[in-house]
């Protein structure tokens, strides 16, 4: 699994569905560089079980991300038509109607490969005469916090059955912005409003003496 932290986030152009039902071609994260922070997350598949709980939980907290000048973008290996159908299915029927942030279609699986969250890989068979896929052609539950310069500052990747904490994603945005604004680092279990710490021996000693 690649560590992308500290590196430029892989860019792409792909089909997406925005505003709960509008098709967009050549959607790209490049539009946010210099303007917004980005939470870019992968989920395995439309019309599944853990996935709608995460997608709807992001929507419920969308205002909190927007307060932090942060956009949320989801991505799976489904087609744009599958995204559209799911976005127009009522929650009581397993749908995600009401979700407004972009859902990207990675039908070719190249975006998941570039972020190294594809749950499998292409390999030549024993005779090297054709390529076959081993594993599940889905994306792990990867999440990437991308700063306004387009650099990945935080990533977490969960296996398929393990849902993520949206509150933790918000905490990471807060921590990054606190560091950028104050020049201080964030100690263990830091939350917005907590004291930061100077990144030197004296700062560590002062912080530890208080806690």
Residues 6+ apart with CB under 8 A from 126: none
Give yes or no: 51 in active site: yes
> To 5 degrees, how large is the angle CA 90–CA 62–CA 89?
10
Q: Compute the distance between CA of residue 47 and CA of residue 45 in angstroms, rounded to an integer.
A: 7
Strands in 52-202 per DSSP E = 70-76, 103-105, 118-124, 131-139, 141-146, 152-158
Cβ distance 28 to 22 under 8 Å? no
Among candidate residues 9, 33, 39, 51, the one labeled active-site is 51
Distance CA 195, CA 185 (A): 9
Element (H, E) at 59: helix 50-60
Sign for the pseudo-dihedral over CA of 106, 69, 97, 49: positive
Q: List, by residue number, the catalytic residues.
A: 51
């Amino acid at each position: 699994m690649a560590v992308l932290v500290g590196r430029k986030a892989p860019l792409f152009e792909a089909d997406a569905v925005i505003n709960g039902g509008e098709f967009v071609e050549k959607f790209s994260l490049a539009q946010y560089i210099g303007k917004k922070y980005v939470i870019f997350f992968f989920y395995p598949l439309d019309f599944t079980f853990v996935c709608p709980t995460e997608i709807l939980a992001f929507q419920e907290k969308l205002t909190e991300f927007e307060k932090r000048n942060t956009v949320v973008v989801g991505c799976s290996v489904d087609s744009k038509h599958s995204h559209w159908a799911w976005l127009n299915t009522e929650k009581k029927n397993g749908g995600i109607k009401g979700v407004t942030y972009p859902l990207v279609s990675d039908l070719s699986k190249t975006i998941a490969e570039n972020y190294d969250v594809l749950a499998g890989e292409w390999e030549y068979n024993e005779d090297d005469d054709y390529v076959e896929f081993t594993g599940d052609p889905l994306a792990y539950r990867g999440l990437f916090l991308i700063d306004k310069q387009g650099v990945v500052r935080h990533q977490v990747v969960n296996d398929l059955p393990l849902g993520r904490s949206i509150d933790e994603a918000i905490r990471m945005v807060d921590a990054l912005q606190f560091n950028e604004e104050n020049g201080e680092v964030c100690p263990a279990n830091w939350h917005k409003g907590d004291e930061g710490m100077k990144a030197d021996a004296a700062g560590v000693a002062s912080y530890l003496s208080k806690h």
